Amino acid sequence: MSAPTDSHQVRIQSLERTTNCPADQSILEACLRDDIWLPHSCTQGTCGSCKMKVLDGEVAHNDSSEYTLTTEERAAGIALGCQATPRSPLVLEPVEQFDPDDGVPRHQLRDHVGTVVALDDIARDIRLLVVELDEPMEFNPGQYAEILVPGSDVARQYSMANPPSETSRLEFHIRRAPGGVATDGWMFRSLGLGDRIELKGPLGDFGMPVVQEEPAILIGGGTGLAPLKSIVRHALTHDLAPELHLYHGGRTEQDLYDVEFFRDLEREHDRFTYRPCLSEQDWDGATGMVTDVVLQDFPSCRGLSAYLCGPPAMIEAGVKALKRRRMAPRRIHREEFLDASHAATAAP
Ligand code: FES
């Protein structure tokens, strides 16, 4: 079967799957929409996890940056799946090895429409947004959706904070960015209850979708708590890990939210602990940078795993701290929140 003239056939060799990719759509998006899962994370051209080897055919690299895709890589036939579009029929192979039969559920990327059913200020410059979808969206804990700003071609990524058992009611934690088109210009200004919202998802590969034998440390900065909340709720319900230790960092108490929710969860589950940490305020809880508090609490992290979500500086400090405590690098999972120019998860 030949593809329509404005699209090209794209074949993923090792998966023996073929789809049609519109000439103006990224190869990654076309595959995810056709239920062909490929490694990816940011979908914004910054992380490099979607690199693909072009075995046959020609691609347009579009906005792929030299930082993520070097000149040498392009010359060697490597492309970013989330940026490249087809110029001809293609045969491709993901650079990152993955096992399609590893037991991790994969969910098809789809467009969705929903209604705003809750919109509350829950901390300084942070809003809770709850959207009731017209059609359910299957996702893994830790994944995100891309919300479209009405009347523009701007989209912003926000992690689902609810567990994946709630497929029709999505919870997002929105951080306000001064002057941000999505937040100051819409979600913190004119968006209201009952408004309709367009989004697409799920996206990303951060999370703990299957059972692991080792205890886990979860570290969130700001609204980096959102995917961790989804992971914690899912993991406790399905016994995914023997112990879960959640750390949430903020500057002052005004930055914390869901404190009572997690304290209740701690009372209900012996294997769950919760430590909110403040870096700029003395109080009766943990004080200091969240990653330093983790270091104090764990003299050794050997044999543990970690899930980190927050600003790049926090992630960098956290990864260093965990490695210093002997955590194996392959057990450190991370999701960076970048600024709007990079537009990663929970961007303004
Ligand atoms: S660079 Fe393509 S998913 Fe991150």
pLDDT along the chain (348 residues), means of 10: 74 97 97 97 95 98 96 97 98 93 94 98 97 98 97 95 98 95 96 98 94 96 97 97 98 97 98 98 96 96 97 95 96 80 39
Q: Which domains does the chain have, with CATH numbers?
A: 7-94 (3.10.20.30), 110-203 (2.40.30.10), 216-336 (3.40.50.80)
Residues with CB under 6 A from ligand 1: 40-43, 45-50, 68, 80-82
- The residue contributing the CA closest to ligand 1 atom 1 is 45
Q: How far is the CA of 344 from the centre of ligand 1 (A)?
A: 10
Give the single-character DSSP code of 103.
S
Instruction: Name the residue with the closest Cα to ligand 1, atom 3.
Output: 43
Q: What is the pLDDT of residue 4?
A: 52
Q: What is the dihedral of CA 226, 210, 101, 204, to 10 degrees?
A: 10
From 26, 47, 67, give the residue whose CB has the most ligand 1 atoms within 8 Å, as the site to mutate. 47
CA of 45 to the centre of ligand 1 (A): 4
DSSP reduced 3-state for 195: coil
Distance 187 CA to ligand 1 centre (A): 26
Pocket test for ligand 1, best of 26, 40, 98, 144 (most atoms within 8 A of CB): 40
- Alpha-carbon gap, residue 295 to 247, rounded angstroms: 11
d(CA 2, CA 202): 29
Separation of 156 CA from ligand 1 center, angstroms? 15
Ramachandran sector of residue 196 (left: φ over 0; alpha: ψ -120 to 50; beta: rest): beta
Question: If you measure from the C-alpha of residue 40 to the centroid of ligand 1, how many angstroms do you get, rounded to a whole number?
Answer: 6
